[in-house]
Amino acid sequence: MFEDLRFRLRALFQSKSVERDLDEELRYHYERQVEHMQSQGHTEAEARRLARLEFGSLDQRKEECRDAHGISWLETLYREFRQAARSLMRRPGFSLGVVFMLALGIGGNLALFSVFNGLFLKPLPIDRPEEIVEINTAAPRWNLERTSVNYFDFHNWRAHNRSFAAMACYDETEANVAFTGEPLRLRGLQVTHDMPQVLRIQPALGRFFSPNEDKPHANRVALISHRTWREQYGSNPAVLGQGIRLDGQGFQIVGVLPPDLRVPVEADFWTPLGEAPVQRQNWYLDTLGRMKPGMTSAKATEDLLRIHKSVPDEMSQLTFPFTVGIRERTFGELRSYSLIVLAGVGIVLLIACVNIAGLMLVRAQSRRHEMAIRAALGASRWQLSREWLAEAIWLAAGGAAAGMLLGLGGLRLIVSLIPDTALPAWVSFEADWRFTLFSLALAGTSALFFGAFPALRASRAALRNELAESATRSSTSSGQRRSLNSLVIAEVALASVLLVSAVFLGKALWDLSQVQPGFRAENTLVYTVALPRSQYSKPEQWVNFYNSLIERTQTLPGVRSAAVSSITPLSGHQGNFYIVEGAPPLPKGQSDPVVLRIAASPGYLAAAGLTLAEGRDFEPNEGSAPENTTVLVNESFARLYWKNSSPLGKRISQRSDKPKWMNIVGVVKDWRQYGLDRPMRPAVILPQRAAPSPQMSVIVNTASDPLSLARASRELVRQLDPQLPLFRLTTMEERLSRSLWIRRTYSWILGLFAGLALILAVAGLYGVVSYTVALREREIGIRLALGAAPVAIARQVVGNGAILVAAGLALGAVASYFAARSMASLLTGIDPANIWVYASVGALLLLVALGANFWPARRAASLDPVSIMRSE
């Protein structure tokens, strides 16, 4: 078989050299025979004559040899493809149109597939990524899906598990570092010493931490990232042993991390976590485990639960460890959107294919006479079908090639829509073998789909004698018209599904953008300043620093108000538990929900644009007296404990055996702390003085463009302490817009493709109706000649089209409803029963479709009967 293939390929692509070989071989024989004859005593001339006589005509022999090779399947295939290519070249309009439509469909799919591939399919850039899981705990009683991990639990799991080859936890951190010039804010990781075993990495230089260095009060050592090593130390190996000041504290550099390390997160430095398994209530760590080979996530979870539940205390009974893939936990939300949009572009490709199938069918119709003759002459069904499939494969190949370019371009566009740091650094969208495989699969399936229609038809032509039929030039056969009609119906239905889905998604986005965030988005600047403990060790220093920063900020021109807060809107969560004075003890086993805890300076409500429902804001210096501290709660908190009565004057305390009661002086209206589409948790706001923190965000309400104050703010911070960088500087508007980027991006993409689907479907409808009119010219001509009114003809054409559209819409409405229902199960804010969405999409499609029918109808009405009859 292989020999044969080699032989065939050679015959195909080196036919000249094959011919030369044949010639040389036969000539050699002839010459030898002549020599042979001469050696037997013949003269040269005689010898030549005899040899030629015996051998026969050289050309004749060559022909016989060629016949002996036979015509192979490969050559047949080659001829068929060449034939198909020529036939397509003769109709550049048709071919380019098809390639263009396919390119749109395939390109769209490839772009979206690349996104999906990058997010969900590509393995993480580490060794044996399938063994890595994230470990977290859930606390259903506290209404928390993820609590993060406390070190006590981690320590316990690490010591007793049977499922993991290694387990490590980490905490993301940041530090001010001054190398030379402006102080930088570097991103770091505090890791346990086993992190390298989990990631299976080696240091580029030096060593990792020893278990002894990963303990409280150990020597302070650090590793720096490969990039930091290159950019700040010029890749000098002498960096080992040098000191580095992180937040003013001296660390000794013991190693350099491997290059391009992006898991679990990209970090500029690593320091040991240095925790001891003593405290039970600080859930702040992220944990990664490398499972033993052959271990499953479910079994590992079981193992962890076994260990966890054997600890006999309340915490261990309330929390449940579980394992989850890193992708699932990072992109859980993106998955639904990706699937919806992938289904959407799939529909676009389907519509394109349906369109192309229609065009091919029309072409098959125009060539049916030829097909009939060839069938009559003995061409087999398979032979006739093959030609169409060859054309389909060419078209699909062209469409796939153009689609790849378009897809890569589209991918770039989509990637440019994704905010910079929205995705982890290890995500890459570059095309890989999956991309290629998917392209091939798409092209192949499309070719099969739209090639099958004309191929089937051609093979039918071989079955029955169409010669007689076509000789009478009857109008299109009813079978053909039926298939064209069903294609149009399918197109309209598919397009309407996509349009309805896009409208639902767009409407959800619009509704969301109309939601009142409860805080002020416009004219609000935020940034964060963190104070290193080495220079700012006392809480009073923190409060004083931030107070003077606020005072100075308020003197800047264009500033309406300014305040600091530990947590600003849309910037995360810090939780705690609170108890209410005099409240009856909770039923046994039931825990209070987690409460968002914020520490803020007086004036924070005004600066952030939060509104008071009742009561008052903090007064200056409130909270400095340790007893009799005041506190604000939000509406959710108030509702939770006091239903509809006022909480003013009531007292609450952080949960503790020795409560420190705080007076509620105000109730703040709920705001969307976690995103416009997320519910609000109960929240308390404490005065900064009562709960000082060395890291606060400054929030500034400005009179004009907030970013115009960025430079002045930097200058202020520098004046207060030149060592302090200011970071996460942004506007509230920007934050709000970013919080919606997933919805917005996907809505745009789906909307774009829905538009495309509409155009394709209408083009298909137009094509089919025009074609039908063209085929019926004779009939229409006769009717016109017999006195039919042109208006009646036009009405009939439009009516026929309208019936198809109506059928498509009816089918589409049902399919759309199911599409919307499955979308609603994935996303919030979609009401599949919203009849107006269906109605408006239906009206739009009907309108556009009637427009598409209008031109062919006009043509039909204006036909000249005389010239048609003459052309017979």
Binding stretches for another protein (CB under 8 A): 3-4, 7, 21, 24-26, 28-29, 31-33, 35-36, 54-56, 60-61, 64-65, 67-70
The nearest distance, CB 36 to another protein, in angstroms, is 8
Residue 498 beta carbon to another protein: minimum distance, rounded to whole angstroms: 54
- What DSSP character marks residue 90? T
Give the residue from 157, 165, 170 showing the smallest Cα distance to 291: 165
Cβ proximity to another protein: between 5 and 422 the closer is 5
Q: Which of 109, 127, 143, 181 is nearest to 640 (CA)?
A: 143
The CA distances from residue 864 to 767, 783, 787, in Å, are 21, 11, 12
Per-residue burial over 6-21, b if 16 or more Cβ lie within 10 Å, else e, is eebeebeeeeeebeee
Buried b (16+ CB within 10 A) or exposed e, 363-377: bbbebbbebbebbee
Looking at the Cβ atoms of 66 and 230, the one nearer to another protein is: 66
Task: Pick between residue 23 and residue 231 the one whose CB is nearest to another protein.
Answer: 23
Which of 56, 259 has the CB closer to another protein? 56
Question: Cβ of 516: how many Cβ atoms within 10 Å?
Answer: 11
CB of 32 to another protein, least distance (A): 4
Spatial CA neighbour of 368 closest among 490, 435, 454: 454
Q: How far is CA 256 from CA 167, 173, 425, 524, in A?
A: 21, 18, 19, 40
Nearer to another protein, 24 or 145 (CB): 24
Q: Rounded to whole angstroms, how far apart are CA atoms 470 and 477?
A: 10
Q: How far is the CB of 24 from another protein (least distance, A)?
A: 7
Based on CB atoms, which residue is closest to another protein, 52 or 329?
A: 52
Distance in Å, CB of 13 to another protein, minimum: 17
Closer of 33 and 148 to another protein (Cβ): 33
CB closer to another protein, 55 vs 817: 55
Least distance CB 17 / another protein (angstroms): 11
| Residue (51 or 256) nearer to another protein, CB | 51
Rounded to a whole number of angstroms, the minimum distance from the CB of residue 14 to another protein is 14
Whichever of 75 and 777 has its CB closer to another protein, that residue is 75
- Residue with Cβ nearer another protein (34 or 256): 34
Strand partners, 727: 528
CA distance 809 to 842: 7
Dihedrals phi, psi of 324, to nearest 5 degrees: -150, 145
**Within 10 Å of residue 676's Cβ, how many Cβ atoms?**
20
What tokens appear for 541 in the block? 């220093």
Cβ contact 279:150 at 8 Å: yes
Query: CA angle, corner 729, sides to 723 and 734, nearest 5?
Result: 175
Least spacing, CB of residue 69 vs another protein, in Å: 6
Between residues 57 and 644, which has the closer beta carbon with respect to another protein? 57
CA distance 111 to 716: 46
32/306 with CB nearer another protein: 32
User: Would you put residue 41 in left (φ > 0), alpha (ψ -120 to 50) or beta?
Assistant: left
To another protein, the closest distance from the beta carbon of 65 in angstroms equals 5
Query: Nearest approach, Cβ of 23 to another protein (angstroms)?
Result: 11
Separation between Cα atoms, residue 383 and residue 219, nearest integer Å: 81
What minimum distance in Å lies between the beta carbon of 55 and another protein?
Answer: 5
Indicate the residue among 27 and 616 with the shorter CB distance to another protein. 27
Least distance in Å: CB of 40 to another protein?
12
Shortest Å distance, C-beta 407 to another protein: 43
We find the least distance from the C-beta atom of residue 22 to another protein, in angstroms, to be 8
> CB 78 → another protein: shortest distance, Å?
17
The CA angle 377-379-385, to the nearest 5 degrees, is 140
CB of 79 to another protein, least distance (A): 19
- Which H helix or E strand runs over 455? helix 433-463
3-state DSSP assignment of residue 600: strand
In degrees to the nearest 10, what's the CA dihedral of 760, 762, 763, 767?
140
Least Å distance between CB 382 and another protein? 24
Determine contact, residues 566/695, Cβ cutoff 8 Å: yes
Task: Give the per-residue SS3 of 763-797.
Answer: HHHHHHHHHHHHHCHHHHHHHHHCCCCHHHHHHHH
* Three-class DSSP labels, 804-842: HHHHHHHHHHHHHHHHHHHHHHHCCCCCCCCHHHHHHHH
Q: According to DSSP H, which parts of 604-689 are helical?
A: 604-608, 635-642
Q: Is 53 exposed, middle or buried (0-12, 13-18, 19+ CB in 10 A)?
A: exposed
Instruction: Cite the DSSP H helix spans in 514-626.
Output: 539-555, 604-608
Count the neighbouring beta carbons within 10 Å of the beta carbon of residue 188: 24
Nearer to another protein, 53 or 377 (CB): 53
Task: Examine residue 264 and say whether the peptide bond preceding it is cis (omega within 30 degrees of 0).
Answer: yes
Q: Which is nearer to another protein, 68 or 463 (CB)?
A: 68
C-alpha Rg value of the chain to the nearest Å: 38
Q: Which is nearer to another protein, 39 or 421 (CB)?
A: 39
The span from the CA of 182 to the CA of 192, in Å, is: 31
Tokens representing residue 98 in the block: 């098809």
Instruction: Look up residue 472 and give its amino acid.
Output: T
Cα–Cα distance measured from residue 487 to residue 464, given in angstroms and rounded to the nearest whole number: 24
Whole-number minimum distance, CB 815 to another protein, in Å? Answer: 55
Phi, psi of 273 (to 5 degrees): -70, -40
Q: Which is nearer to another protein, 24 or 314 (CB)?
A: 24
Q: How far apart are the first and last CA of the chain?
A: 55
